[in-house]
Amino acid sequence: MNGNYAFVVDRDSVGVAGTALRPLQVALLGFGTVGRSVTRILVERPELGGRLQLTHVFNRGVSRKRADWVPESVTWTEDLDELFASDPDVIVEVVGGVRPAGDWVRRALERGISVVTANKMLLAAEGPALLHLAASTGAQIRFEAAVGGGVPLVQGVREGLAGDTLTRVIGILNGTSNYVLSRMKTGDASMDAVLDEARRLGYAEADPSADIDGDDAAAKLVVLAGIAFGRHLPLAATINAARVLSTAAGLLGVGLEELDRLERRGASEEEIEDLRARLNALSDPKEPAPSKPA
């Protein structure tokens, strides 16, 4: 099995001239922050009314999740069997994580139901297998929102650059880490202080460990490698590599605190500049850390 994430949509099969097409029946797995936003788009945009129809919302503890702005025609359920029994055309998975989301996605694809997901961790762990399963049943799995959804990136690489040979991919894969490192480099603030600031501004989750430890960026990198180079990187090894880089970020935070101590105790200019150079090298891996002369 190769790890090629690319697949081709036969646009001629989408509709037949002169045939009245009904709206695609859409079922949603997960009604958290992302799920609510997806639901609003589906039920509040009139231009989608004739093309997409939300029929079911699945979530645990659904009674506390119900929203009065969702049309009464939408069925709320905690019963996954009920959702599948409705035979939707598309299932949108925004639960996150590898399990149980992966089992639900696989179940949909086995039944020939197409899936749209923003779940980068699932794609990084099982993407090739899920794509092969989709191809074998005639379903599709789409994941534009998993990596760089605001660009958008996945379709641009898979289709817009299909005739090119890519040799490398460079970019900022995690906004939280980018904000934290940028603020630490320019403001001489500690990592903990900048992270607290990022939470207040909405740039970091309440638990930012997946961002700061590198897991989020690693999963995105696996997906990008799949669509850009047709290779599936082992997720565990990629996460380990990302955590090495995140350790450098932690060292940067400690170093900035040490720099503050040096400046307050009136250390020599040579000591301060030497530490500054090392911190700059940590925040910009392209610059090797200078060796202190013997």
pLDDT tier at 226, thresholds 50, 70, 90: confident
For residues 147 and 120, the answer to whether their CB atoms sit within 8 Å is yes
pTM: 0.71
Amino acid 244: pLDDT: 57
| Percent of the residues in the chain that have a pLDDT greater than 90, as a whole number | 35
Q: What are phi and psi of 245, to 5 degrees?
A: -65, -35
| Tokens (6 digits) for 96 | 């996150």
Which residues does 205 contact at the CB level (< 8 Å), separation at least 6?
176, 199, 211
For 158, 178, 256, the CA distances from 284, given in Å and listed in that order, are 29, 11, 15
Amino acid 163: pLDDT: 77
Amino acid 291: pLDDT: 43
**∠ at Cα 46 (41, 51), nearest 5°?**
80
Beta bridge partners of 76: 57
Average pLDDT across the chain, whole number: 79
Catalytic residue among 65, 120, 185, 220: 220
Examine the residue annotation and report whether 220 is marked as an active-site residue of this protein: yes
Distance of alpha carbon 110 from alpha carbon 157, whole angstroms: 27
What's the average model confidence in pLDDT over 169-177? 83
pLDDT in tens, 43-81: 999 888 789 999 999 999 888 889 999 999 999 999 999
Is pLDDT above 70 for 136? yes
Candidates 231, 271, 57, 46; CA nearest to 128 is 231
Residue by residue, DSSP assigns 129-178 as HHHHHHHHHT--EE-GGGSSTTTT-HHIIIIITTTS----------HHHH
| Tokens (6 digits) for 190 | 């500690």
Amino acid 59: pLDDT: 93
Amino acid 65: pLDDT: 87
Ranking 35-49, 91-105, 239-253 by mean pLDDT, the lowest is 239-253
| Tokens (6 digits) for 64 | 């506390």
Distance of alpha carbon 165 from alpha carbon 229, whole angstroms: 8
Amino acid 161: pLDDT: 77
Ranking 5-9, 50-54, 75-79, 191-195 by mean pLDDT, the lowest is 5-9
Q: Which range, 10-24, 74-88, 139-153, 263-277, has the best average confidence (pLDDT)?
A: 74-88
> What is the layout of strands, in order, in the sheet containing 114-117?
75-77, 52-58, 24-29, 90-93, 114-117, 141-142
Which residues does 108 contact at the CB level (< 8 Å), separation at least 6?
84, 91, 114, 115, 139
Count CA atoms within 13 Å of residue 1 on its CB side. 14
Distance of alpha carbon 290 from alpha carbon 255, whole angstroms: 15
For the chain, the residue count is: 294
> pLDDT: is 146 or 114 the higher one?
114
Amino acid 229: pLDDT: 84
Is pLDDT above 80 for 15? no
What's the average model confidence in pLDDT over 119-128? 92
pLDDT in tens, 267-283: 667 766 776 676 566 55
Amino acid 2: pLDDT: 40
